[in-house]
Structure 1
Amino acid sequence: MMKEKEKQSLDLPISSLTKHYSPENKLLLSCIRYQLNSATASDVRDLLKRDLHWDILVSNAVRQNVFMLVYKTLKINNSKFIPSSVFERMEIEAQKRMTYNLFLTHKLFQVLNLFAEHNIQAIPFKGPIWAQLAYGNMGLREFSDLDVLVRPQDFSKAKDVLIEQGYYDKNFGANEKSLGEAQMVLPDRRTNIDVHYKLTPRDFYLQVETESFFEDLQTLSLLGKKIATFSPENSLAISYLQGTKDSWNSLKRICDFGRLIQTYPEANWQEVIARCQTDENDRVFLLGIAIAQTYLQISLPEIFSDKLKQFPEVLKVARQHKEYMYHKNMEYGYIFFIISLWERRENTLWSRLQYLLKIIFRVNASDRELFPLPDLLFFVYYPLRIVRLIGKHKISKEKISSLWNLFKS
């Protein structure tokens, strides 16, 4: 039975949830929540009066891809509290990002027209689509590439059409089958189009068929043009899949999912869950919901408010996720691998250990590029990988202890 403290966790005020965080991270969260209507102007103004390290705030906002959300909030709420030199730099940066957003949006129109001329049905998502669909404002969601979904039988043709226009495959087909996508770029590297024929990688714990996503579309007005994109339920499903396959390791993913939840309060969640090829008792799915609520303090559909009360361990991991991401100054990149395995295998400590060992000893391209060795000496990569992981993630005794506590929860 859930403790009273855990029952109340969804309703704690912002000040209580962030009391151990730095002023910069408190302000970052409040700025995001303000744009999602779950924090007030007074929350933001109170934090603006604190002694802040502005470089840290801006750096964290940029790193988490939520700079525009933070900038817009600060611009609205008493920018007089911000040093003029800092705000001027933020305004210049915001203008650059907005200009690039518009540039990519026009590129999207060109690509969709090109595909239509070749009878390729391509459905755009993320990028400018979610900027308008979820936030209602092209200036609130930043993006650096474009994403379209095509049918598997059209994938090669779509690539060929782009190649004829001067694009090339950034990875030259590497990992194409395992990821189900190709990154197509122009030589100037300003335009990157991810052409997907799958929505999840081959080793992801959910395997999602894509044909049904083409059946239920909605029309979106984007800069005066009508664009066909996914239905509310399918957009929610894709946002969840995008976040959870990355273990929710960026605020941008969390904000997208949270904002879509707010945008579609009447969505058919049974359909969303079915699209994800899972069920309402899947604790990984519930973890995505809990993470969005824990960070953003948004209202949840009743189905999930009730369901989360049955799974207190989900709320525990969601809170730990936020603690590691903010209280530890965002140094815990590897923690998200631990969370990603939390419920993707049988719920036994031994099965988790087996999966963890696979992650630790999975030699990848980065290992081989850093330490080029002949195949005869491949076994040397295993100890070298451990050394590289320790150095990359600055693993200490404290981190190991924290990871273990989360891992066995």
Structure 2
Amino acid sequence: MKLPVKQEILFIILCSRRYLDHETENQAKQLIDTSLFDWDCFYKISFEFGVLPLLYGHLKNTFKVYVPDHIFKKVHHFFIINAARNMVLTNELLKILDLFKTKNILAVPFKGPVLADMVYGSDTLRAFSDLDILVQESEAVKARIILQEYGYRLIHELDEKYDDFYVGIEHAFNMQSPDGKVNIDLQWKLLGTYTPEPITLEKIKHKLSTQQFAGRDILHLGHEDLLFYLCVHGTKDGWEKFEWISCIAEMLRKYPDINWNKVFESANQEHCLKKLKLGLYLASTLCKAPLPIVIEIKIQGDKGIKILGEQFKEHFFSNKNFISVFTNNQRFSSFHIQVQDDLKNKFRFVQRQLFRPTTKEILLWPVPGDFTFLYYIYRPLRLLWNLVLYFFSKLNGKSPVELNN
């Protein structure tokens, strides 16, 4: 690293795993056994990185003697609150899965409590704020209506006349429980419009596996598909949370028998090879994720991935948001263009971002159901106007307005 790395960040990286070996434990103790270690900084960064629940057990069982009382109490309090909330979300997920089962809706939970249990062995060791459920595209509206009859509401209310159009252009219904305590992303396209072709449940259901969760069998993404998803999802969102990287590393430790041919086959089919490689590069170089030698050679031999990975790490160690280096738009930046596999897919990505309508267009300009084609004209015009406002504010020395997508 060109810049000195905060010892607080190094400690967080070392300890963001389910189990610590003797060597890692000693390295961590050397970092905190000094008056220079800033525990308030540690708490702040751990919270931002999303790894406080994972670190709590190590602070309690291994490093308690080093931790100031006020810091340990804050971490303990966060862990208890997070565990209680996760329990509520887990119980609600089970109820919804039962509800969908009675209505013959194929539903696959992913991320959230299922991912925490699958990777860490407990839903208390990961912070998550909502539930993600994948349904078939053909059953998306039916599933939404079932949830609405159960009491959930759309966070962004849309007229039912847009249902078919919305399912075609978007990837999820964002819904909220009557008491406002549970949010659900009811998805029918994994990774939204970030891949050249939609990844639907219809497309991958033959590859689903059965997993034990909360004392029952549930359908879930297979290990290979989940690893692919985590890498592409993290790259899509600029690796905003360090926990996304440590989660991949932990998964690779727990499941060493992953079929790498299937992983790279999916990446090639979906034109997401660079996104996969970047996720694996970060997990390997930051968290010492175990990779087969042939995979390491394949990743290290990609100079473009190494450059992007090192750029990310430089800003990560400075505790800066990576995407903000390119733009204040979290979904559309030069970074997102760089991680497309080839020129054709770069063009297709830009085309999708510029011309494919989103919920925002529908909310800003409701049109009759027969005229939804106008959104394909309205979107690029709206983005162009936002761009004009953005550069105008910069020229006038004002704080630039956000580039909304």
TM-score range, shorter chain: 0.7 to 0.9
Matches within 5 A, 1:304-319: 304-319=295-310
Using the TM superposition, name which of 209-218 and 180-189 deviates more.
209-218
2:32 equivalent in structure 1: 48
Structure 1 residue 251 and structure 2 residue 251: aligned? no
State whether residues 167 and 185 of structure 1, in contact with CA within 8 Å, keep that contact through their aligned partners in structure 2. yes
State whether residues 197 and 270 of structure 2, in contact with CA within 8 Å, keep that contact through their aligned partners in structure 1. no
Matches within 5 A, 1:10-409: 20-33=4-17, 35=19, 40-50=24-34, 51-173=36-158, 177-205=168-196, 207-278=198-269, 282-326=273-317, 328-335=318-325, 337-344=333-340, 346=342, 381-386=386-391, 387=393, 391=399
Hey, what's the Cα distance between the residues in 1 that align with 2:399 and 2:23? 38
Report the CA distance shift for 1:363/1:101 in structure 2 as closer, same or farther (over 3 A): closer
The residue type paired with residue 182 of structure 1 is F
Alpha-carbon distance, 1:364 to partner: 11
State whether residues 145 and 191 of structure 1, in contact with CA within 8 Å, keep that contact through their aligned partners in structure 2. yes
Q: Which runs of 5+ in 2 are unaligned?
A: 327-332, 365-380
State whether residues 149 and 195 of structure 1, in contact with CA within 8 Å, keep that contact through their aligned partners in structure 2. yes
State whether residues 208 and 277 of structure 1, in contact with CA within 8 Å, keep that contact through their aligned partners in structure 2. no
State whether residues 135 and 259 of structure 1, in contact with CA within 8 Å, keep that contact through their aligned partners in structure 2. yes
Hey, what's the Cα distance between the residues in 1 that align with 2:266 and 2:3? 38
Hey, what's the Cα distance between the residues in 2 that align with 1:201 and 1:377? 21
State whether residues 183 and 192 of structure 1, in contact with CA within 8 Å, keep that contact through their aligned partners in structure 2. yes
Hey, what's the Cα distance between the residues in 1 that align with 2:300 and 2:244? 24
State whether residues 195 and 271 of structure 2, in contact with CA within 8 Å, keep that contact through their aligned partners in structure 1. no
SS of corresponding position for 1:344: coil
SS of corresponding position for 2:279: helix
The residue type paired with residue 101 of structure 1 is N
State whether residues 390 and 400 of structure 2, in contact with CA within 8 Å, keep that contact through their aligned partners in structure 1. no
Alpha-carbon distance, 1:19 to partner: 7.5
State whether residues 312 and 322 of structure 2, in contact with CA within 8 Å, keep that contact through their aligned partners in structure 1. no
Alpha-carbon distance, 1:383 to partner: 4.0
Alpha-carbon distance, 1:137 to partner: 2.2
State whether residues 31 and 74 of structure 1, in contact with CA within 8 Å, keep that contact through their aligned partners in structure 2. no
Report the CA distance shift for 1:137/1:299 in structure 2 as closer, same or farther (over 3 A): same
The residue type paired with residue 94 of structure 1 is F
Hey, what's the Cα distance between the residues in 2 that align with 1:120 and 1:363? 26
Alpha-carbon distance, 1:391 to partner: 4.3
SS of corresponding position for 2:156: coil
Hey, what's the Cα distance between the residues in 1 that align with 2:84 and 2:156? 27
Report the CA distance shift for 1:309/1:65 in structure 2 as closer, same or farther (over 3 A): closer
Count matched residues.
Answer: 365
Hey, what's the Cα distance between the residues in 2 that align with 1:54 and 1:393? 35
Hey, what's the Cα distance between the residues in 1 that align with 2:197 and 2:285? 24
